[in-house]
């Protein structure tokens, strides 16, 4: 029994197909990827990229396959990159017709996610940004972005809609580059069903502490989603959980525990880039995150709080490292 529902990126399971489907040559479907995700020990949930991974399937088919494999549907994740028209913006597109199409598509994502049994819709506004100076009117694209979130959220005021920010990639500069900009946009949109998805790698790219980002979200909004992975902070590496920033991952988990986070933890890692077995990679993510939760539970909270209050980093690190290594250091 794991501490949280753990989910994984379905795209990953199209890697090393010969390991799971020896001799198979036909095109994999979303239902196939769900089957392979279910083979990961400890994995209990999946997300569906919309509209690409639901194309040709009914919500009832998706719901049934996920349930039959003993999984949960965490939610739908919007992906606008399937339509070339959105390369210059989805919610911030200068063409009102294209912008309207993006908003309508997102509303449909909410409806299908609900019908399929998902608990939320995640919006990654990867196409909303700029690449050159003097490309946009910054105040105008900000207003378009915020208004787009408001229009989508108001479509179903009882259904959580989560915003996943990122500094760049594919755009050179995204409208929502960091946690502060995202919280400001949510505040201006004024829709109570809006919240934040933190992606560990995106937070590193934004030169922010993951635990601090989570703390800020807890003060001003709701943490609806968490994507765990790792990397070097220069790009979206999608490395295995805890493989580079182990201490910062522990610090983030402690913050989640203090804030009472209860959602699914989604492993947004890229085994395909290193040609890894995605089932084994997923299992390793589960094992590591459970081990890191053990560390968090061993932390002497009163002593650690006291060390943090006086900003005694040496004392704090001795407590954390003792919890990691099982002995005083």
Q: Is the pLDDT of residue 314 over 90?
A: yes
pLDDT tens string 113-136: 999 999 999 999 999 999 999 999
DSSP 291-319: HHHHHHHHS-HHHHHHHHHTT-HHHHHHH
Predicted TM-score (pTM) of the model is 0.96
Q: Write down the mean pLDDT value for the chain.
A: 97
pLDDT of residue 82: 85
pLDDT of residue 327: 85
Residue 22, Cβ density class (10 Å: 0-12 exposed, 13-18 middle, ≥19 buried)? exposed
pLDDT of residue 137: 98
**Rounded to whole angstroms, how far apart are CA atoms 78 and 58?**
17
Q: Is the pLDDT of residue 170 over 80?
A: yes
Q: For tokens 């494999």, name the residue.
A: 69
Q: Kindly compute the dihedral angle of the four CA atoms of residues 139, 192, 229, 44, in this order, to the nearest 10 degrees.
A: -150
**Rounded to whole angstroms, how far apart are CA atoms 105 and 270?**
27
pLDDT of residue 1: 77
Which residues, 6 or more positions from 137, have their beta carbon under 8 angstroms from its beta carbon? none
**Rounded mean pLDDT, 171-192:** 98
**Rounded mean pLDDT, 55-72:** 97
**Rounded mean pLDDT, 202-213:** 98
pLDDT of residue 329: 78
**DSSP class of residue 284?**
H
pLDDT tens string 133-156: 999 999 999 999 999 999 999 999
Q: Is the pLDDT of residue 207 over 90?
A: yes
**Rounded to whole angstroms, how far apart are CA atoms 299 and 321?**
9
**Rounded to whole angstroms, how far apart are CA atoms 224 and 121?**
10
Domains in the chain, start-ordered, CATH in brackets? 6-298 (3.20.20.150), 301-329 (no CATH)
% the chain with pLDDT above 90: 97
Question: 96: pLDDT confidence band, cut at 50, 70 and 90?
Answer: very high
**Rounded mean pLDDT, 19-45:** 97
């Amino acid at each position: 029994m794991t501490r949280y529902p753990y989910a994984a990126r379905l795209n990953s399971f199209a890697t090393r197909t010969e390991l799971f489907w020896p001799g198979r040559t036909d095109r994999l479907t979303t239902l196939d990827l769900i089957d392979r995700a279910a083979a990961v020990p400890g994995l209990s949930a999946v997300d569906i990229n919309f509209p690409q991974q639901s194309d040709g399937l009914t919500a009832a088919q998706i719901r049934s396959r996920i349930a039959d494999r003993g999984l949960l549907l965490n939610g739908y994740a919007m992906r606008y990159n399937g339509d070339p028209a959105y390369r210059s913006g989805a919610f911030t597109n200068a063409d009102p017709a294209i912008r309207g199409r993006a908003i309508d598509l997102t509303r449909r994502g909410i409806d299908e996610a609900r019908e399929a049994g998902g608990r939320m819709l995640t919006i990654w506004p990867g196409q909303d940004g700029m690449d050159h100076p003097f490309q946009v009117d910054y105040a105008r694209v900000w207003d378009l972005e915020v208004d787009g979130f408001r229009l989508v959220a108001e479509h179903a005021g009882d259904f959580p809609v989560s915003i996943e920010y990122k500094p760049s990639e594919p755009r050179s500069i995204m409208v929502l580059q960091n946690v502060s900009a995202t919280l400001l946009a949510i505040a201006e949109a004024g829709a109570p069903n809006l919240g934040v998805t933190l992606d560990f790698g995106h937070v590193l790219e934004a030169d922010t502490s993951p635990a601090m980002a989570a703390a800020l979200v807890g003060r001003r909004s709701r943490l609806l989603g968490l994507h765990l992975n790792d990397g070097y902070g220069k790009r979206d590496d999608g490395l295995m959980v805890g493989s580079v920033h182990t201490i910062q991952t522990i610090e983030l988990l402690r913050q989640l525990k203090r804030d009472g986070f209860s959602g699914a933890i989604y492993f947004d890692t890229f085994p395909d880039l290193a040609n890894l077995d995605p089932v084994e990679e997923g299992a390793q993510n589960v094992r590591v995150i459970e081990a890191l939760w053990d560390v968090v539970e061993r932390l002497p909270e009163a002593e650690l709080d006291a060390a943090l209050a006086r900003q005694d980093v040496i004392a704090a690190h001795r407590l954390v490292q003792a919890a990691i290594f099982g002995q005083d250091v």
